[in-house]
């Protein structure tokens, strides 16, 4: 059965506002001002990744976001005891569990839910019990979906890095990567899991991914913050929202 027009939300990842701030060790640009503009311009939530090495967002940023914008923080974090304690203490609206390697520039791939099954179970049960929406960042892979469903996670965020890279470089793998995402989105939705997508999106790939009706949330960071240097954050967010609406209409036509 075709699902028509499920709502699609935008989470704006503000990590790289903090990257810029930390580059000079100053108090600006303010991540709170960025979050405020993002929400006023149509973002539905604010995403921030508290990394083990605190290279961009730090502990006080997380507290400030939760205090200033209750119910709006999607906290990305690795499945470590330190992060679990922080999440249970600050109680964000949702937690997206991501793999983390110290030496990587960004989150390079999805979580291996298969090999980390027991560790993840111990991790997400307390979060769910505390009323926090749980999400796993995974590659578009059926085994990962199956193992995630076993753990009763609320949402799956599909890592779109390979697709976006292929699209941007006009690689012939692009169509296959898109099909993989679309297939996992459909299967996850049939299992009652809310489907999100993120990593590497720009205007074009936002439009394409929004055409997949089962995707209910996109999380976008680096492109939005980069583009806002030229156009301003409010305008970029409105333009991204327009791409999402255009993409959704394409999905309805197909």
Count of positions on this chain that bind ligand PXP (CB under 6 A): 19
Among 92, 198, 247, 251, interactor with ligand PXP by CB under 6 A: 198
| Burial of residue 254, with CB atoms counted within 10 A of its CB: 0-12 exposed, 13-18 middle, 19 or more buried | exposed
Asked if 49 is part of the footprint of ligand PXP (rule: CB under 6 A), the reply reads yes
Asked if 163 is part of the footprint of ligand PXP (rule: CB under 6 A), the reply reads no
199 catalytic per annotation: yes
Of 19-27, 34-42, 166-174, 214-222, the segment contacting ligand PXP by CB under 6 A is 214-222
Helices (H), the chain: 15-24, 31-40, 59-68, 81-90, 117-129, 142-150, 161-168, 174-190, 203-210, 222-231, 233-253
- Quote the crossing angle between the two packed helices 59-68 and 31-40, to the nearest 10°: 40
What does the block give as tokens for 239?
């333009």
104 catalytic per annotation: no
Among 31, 50, 77, 98, interactor with ligand PXP by CB under 6 A: 98
Q: Which is nearer to ligand PXP, 163 or 178 (CB)?
A: 163
Asked if 203 is part of the footprint of ligand PXP (rule: CB under 6 A), the reply reads no
Asked if 220 is part of the footprint of ligand PXP (rule: CB under 6 A), the reply reads yes
Q: What is the DSSP track for 86-121? A: HHHHH--SEEEE----TT-SS--S---TTTTHHHHH
Asked if 41 is part of the footprint of ligand PXP (rule: CB under 6 A), the reply reads no
**Do 160 and 209 contact (CB within 8 A), yes or no?**
yes
Asked if 74 is part of the footprint of ligand PXP (rule: CB under 6 A), the reply reads no
**Do 81 and 103 contact (CB within 8 A), yes or no?**
no
Closest approach of Cβ 63 to ligand PXP, in Å? 20
Question: What amino acid positions are annotated as catalytic residues?
Answer: 49, 76, 199
- For ligand PXP, the binding residues (CB under 6 A) are 13, 15, 49, 76, 96, 98, 106-107, 137, 157, 198-201, 219-223
């Amino acid at each position: 059965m075709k699902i028509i027009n499920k709502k699609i939300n935008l989470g704006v990842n503000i990590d790289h506002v903090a990257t810029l701030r930390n580059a000079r060790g100053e108090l600006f640009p303010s991540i709170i001002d960025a979050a405020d503009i993002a929400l006023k311009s149509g973002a539905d939530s604010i995403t921030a990744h508290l990394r083990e090495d605190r290279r961009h967002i730090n502990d006080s940023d997380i507290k400030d976001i939760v205090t200033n914008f209750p119910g709006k923080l999607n906290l990305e974090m690795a499945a470590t005891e330190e992060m679990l304690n922080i999440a249970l203490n600050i109680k964000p609206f949702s937690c997206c569990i991501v793999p983390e390697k110290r030496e990587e520039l960004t989150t390079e791939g999805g979580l291996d839910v298969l090999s980390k099954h027991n560790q993840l179970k111990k991790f997400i049960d307390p979060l769910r019990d505390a009323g926090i929406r749980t999400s796993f960042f995974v590659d578009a892979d059926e085994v990962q979906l199956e193992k995630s469903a076993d753990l009763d996670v609320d949402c799956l965020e599909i890592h779109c890095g390979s697709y976006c890279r292929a699209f941007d470089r006009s690689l012939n793998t692009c169509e296959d990567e898109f099909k993989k995402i679309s297939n996992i989105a459909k299967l996850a939705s049939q299992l009652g899991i809310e489907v999100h997508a993120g990593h590497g999106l720009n205007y074009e790939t936002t439009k394409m991914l929004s055409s997949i009706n089962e995707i209910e949330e996109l999380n976008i960071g680096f492109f939005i913050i980069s583009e806002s240097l030229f156009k301003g954050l409010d305008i970029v967010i409105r333009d991204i929202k327009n791409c999402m609406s255009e993409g959704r209409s394409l999905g309805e036509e197909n």
